[in-house]
Structure 1
Amino acid sequence: MEEGLLLKEESTRAIRAVTGTWGGEFKEEGGRLGRVALPMVAVTLSQYLVQVVSIMMAGHLGELSLAGASIASSLTSVTGFTLLSGIVMKD
């Protein structure tokens, strides 16, 4: 006898999804997405925080240093990080 493509519990989940009991399905899928998305959110926030901390440290050195660090950070962000993330994210 041939076996189905879905496992027993996957087939029961598929049947529940079709019949309308989606509460558990949405919660389960949200948990999966959260486990994938949370590290990406943390990395993105840390990249921005690196720039902010660098500018804050340069601000303690003086006005000219702060201006130079702000321009350098802005230029690096636009050219370097954006270009690299575009290349990495390209399918």
Structure 2
Amino acid sequence: LECMEEGSVTIDGETHHLPKPFMVMATMNPLEFEGTYPLPEAQLDRFLMKLVITHLPPEQEEALLVKVNQNDGALRPEIVS
């Protein structure tokens, strides 16, 4: 959460300033997992949105995998840096 508050991150004691704008993407473990706790409201307020991603139905998942594995050029993964 340091990056959202201070615009920098510290790795091995060295502070790195982040370019502006920057985007934070995070995952959240279910509360049922051992050792997980809900974030305080003050920290939750730092996130613009929460996306809940569920699994596709099996037939749609299979169709997606078939499409991705075709080499027709319809789906081209782009390199993100």
- More strand by proportion, 1 or 2? 2
- Tell which has more relative contact order, 1 or 2 (C-alpha 8 A, sep 6+): 2
Query: Scaled by the length of structure 2, what TM-score is found?
Result: 0.26
Query: Scaled by the length of structure 1, what TM-score is found?
Result: 0.24
Larger-gyration structure (1/2):
1
